[in-house]
Amino acid sequence: MRLKLGISTCPNDTYIYEALVQGLENSPFEWEVHFADVQTLNEMVRRGELDVAKVSAQVYPKIEAEYACLSCGGAIGYGCGPLLLSSVGNAFCPEKPVVLPGADTTAALLFKFWHKKTGQTEQKIEYALFDQVYRSLRSKEAVQGVVIHEHRFTWKRDGLYLLQDLGAFWEENTGTPIPLGIAVARKSLGVNTIFQIEDEIRKSLNIARKRENLVTPFIDKLAQIDDPNVMEAHIRMFVNDFSEEVGERGRASLGYLWTLVKG
C-alpha cells in the first residue's frame, strides 16, 4: 500500500520517522514523504492531502471527522514548550504585535492561553513560518514572537530575551504535560491499517533508540540549524516515552487542549 506521509524537518520528527522513511523490513507500506513546516502540514491535512502526518495537537478538532489521532509518533512532554521572546528587552509590550508560528499551531494556542490567563489587554497578532519568526526577532524587525523547535535552544546565544516559557505556564496551570504535536492517520484507511501504521512508527522509533549516535546524516541534512549539539538537545527534549505511547497523562493533556480549541 502506498501512503502519503507528512512530517517536519525538525530533528525530533526525522529521528522518530527515519527508519520508516528509509524502509522498514517486511513493511506493508511504501511512503511518499512530504517534508514541510508544521503549519503547512496542518493546512495539508485540513485539505485532506496526506494519509499520515505529524501535525499540531490543537488542529485536531478541525480534522477529527476525517483523521484518527494515533497513540504514538507525536510530541508531548514536560519542559519542552514554546517560548515568548523579545528582541528589545525583558518587558512584554502590549502595544506591539506578537508574531506566532502559524494560526493552527499549538504554540499559537499556548500564547493565547497565557495572554488570557494573565489578563493582558487586546493584542495584535501576526503570523509567519516558524523560522521566519526567529529571523524577524534576530533582525529586530519584530519586537516579540513565539519560537519553537530548534530555536528554543539558541535565543540566548542570539541576544534575545525570554518573556515567558509558555510550556511551563501550561504545566503550572493545568497540571498536565505539554501537548505540542500528534500523529494522525486517515480514518478511511480502516482500523487494522491504522494499527499497522502505529506499529511501523514504534518500530522506527525503537530502531532510532538503539543507534549509538542520535544525529544521523539524514537528520543533519534536513535540519534547519547546523549545530549537532542543538540537534541532540532537540531530540532529547522532544522524544520521550510519550512518543512511543501517549498514555493516560498524554490523553489528559490533549483533552484539556481540545476543550480550549472547541471553546
Q: What is the pLDDT of residues 207-217, one digit of tens each?
A: 999 999 999 99
- In the prediction, which pLDDT does 152 show? 85
Residues 192-238 have pLDDT tens digits of 999 999 999 999 999 999 999 999 999 999 998 888 999 999 999 99
Those residues whose C-beta lies under 8 Å from the C-beta of residue 240, and which sit 6 or more positions away, are 76, 77
Indicate whether 263 pLDDT > 80.
Answer: no
Which of 235, 250, 262, 238 is CA-nearest to residue 176? 250
- In the prediction, which pLDDT does 116 show? 93
pLDDT cut 90: percent of the chain above it? 90
pLDDT cut 70: percent of the chain above it? 100
What letter represents residue 189's amino acid? L
Find the largest Cα–Cα distance for the chain.
57
Indicate whether 52 pLDDT > 90.
Answer: yes
Indicate whether 173 pLDDT > 80.
Answer: yes
- In the prediction, which pLDDT does 98 show? 97
The three cell numbers of residue 66 are 476525517
**pLDDT confidence bin for 27, thresholds 50/70/90:** very high
3-state secondary structure 156-187: CCCCCEEEEEHHHHHHHHHCCCEEEEEEEEEH
Q: Map residue 28 onto helix, strand or coil.
A: coil
Average pLDDT over residues 242-249: 97
Sequence-ordered alpha helix ranges (H) in the chain? 11-22, 38-46, 106-117, 130-138, 166-174, 191-210, 217-222, 228-238, 241-244, 247-262
Residues annotated as catalytic (active site), given as ranges: 149
Indicate whether 38 pLDDT > 80.
Answer: yes
The 8-class DSSP code of residue 149 comes to G
Q: What is d(CA 143, CA 129) in angstroms, rounded to the nearest whole number?
A: 16
Q: What's the sign of the alpha-carbon dihedral 142, 144, 147, 153?
A: positive
**pLDDT confidence bin for 24, thresholds 50/70/90:** very high
C-alpha gyration radius of the chain = 18
Instruction: State phi, psi for 142 to the nearest 5 degrees.
Output: -110, 140
Side-chain half-sphere of 4: how many Cα atoms within 13 Å?
Answer: 11
Q: What is the pTM of this model?
A: 0.91
Q: Which string of b and e fits 177-209 if b means at least 16 CB within 10 Å?
A: bbbbbbbbbbeebeeebbebbbebbbebbebbe
